[in-house]
Amino acid sequence: MNQREKIQALAKKKARKLKKLKQDPRYRKVMGRLAHERLIDTQVKKSPRRFTAQEALWVGENIEPRVLELLPAIVIKKPAILMTEDFPEDLRTAVNSLRRGEAKVSFRNIPLKKCDGWLPHIGRKGAYPTATKNFRLRREDLETLKALSQKLSLSEAGVIKEALKYFAQKHGNTN
C-alpha cells in the first residue's frame, strides 16, 4: 500500500466516523437550533428545541468547532437558547472576559477573538452587548447629572455619553 492509498483509507475511515457521529441526537438538536436561529448553515433540519451547554460542548469538541466559537456569545446575548445556566468553569471565564471586552484567554483552544466576532450576529444584529460601569459619585455630582439630564432632555447615561464624546473630540481621541 503506497502513501496515497494510506491517506485515502484514513480519509474514508474518518468520513465514516463523522457520518456516525452526525447521527447522534445531540448533534441534530444543537445544529437544528443554530440553523433555526440562522447562526449556522447546515443540512440538519431546523428545530426550535433548546439544548444544554454540555450538548453544545460535545458537538463542538467532536464534530463542529464553530459551536465552541458560538457558545460564549450565545450565553451573553441569547441565553434563552440554552436549557440551563449550569456552565463549566472555563465557559464562565470566557463569558466574563468577553463581557469585559478582554480577549486574552482562550476557550477550549479557541481564541476569544473568534468568539468575540460572533457577538454582533446574535440577538440584536450588529450590536455588541452594553457594559455596566459603576461609579461612586458625590451628592453634588449626582445633582449636577440630574440637572443636566433635565436641561438637555437626555437620560443620565445619555449625558455621560455626550460628555465622553465631547472630551474625546476636544482631546483628539475620536474612536
Residue 30: per-residue pLDDT: 94
Residue among 150, 71, 152 nearest 108 (CA): 71
| 17-48 confidence digits (pLDDT tens) | 888 988 999 999 999 999 999 999 988 899 89
Q: What is the pLDDT of residue 175?
A: 57
Kind and range of the H or E run holding 168 = helix 156-170
> What's the mean per-residue pLDDT of the chain?
89
Longest dimension (CA), the chain: 84
Residues 96-154 have pLDDT tens digits of 888 888 877 889 999 998 888 888 888 887 777 777 778 888 999 999 999 999 999 99
**Residue 73, H or E segment:** helix 66-77
The pLDDT of residue 174 is above 70? no
Contacts 24+ apart (CB under 8 A), 160-167: none
As beta bridge partners, residue 107 has 110
Mean pLDDT across 65-73 = 93
- How many whole angstroms separate alpha carbon 51 and alpha carbon 128? 24
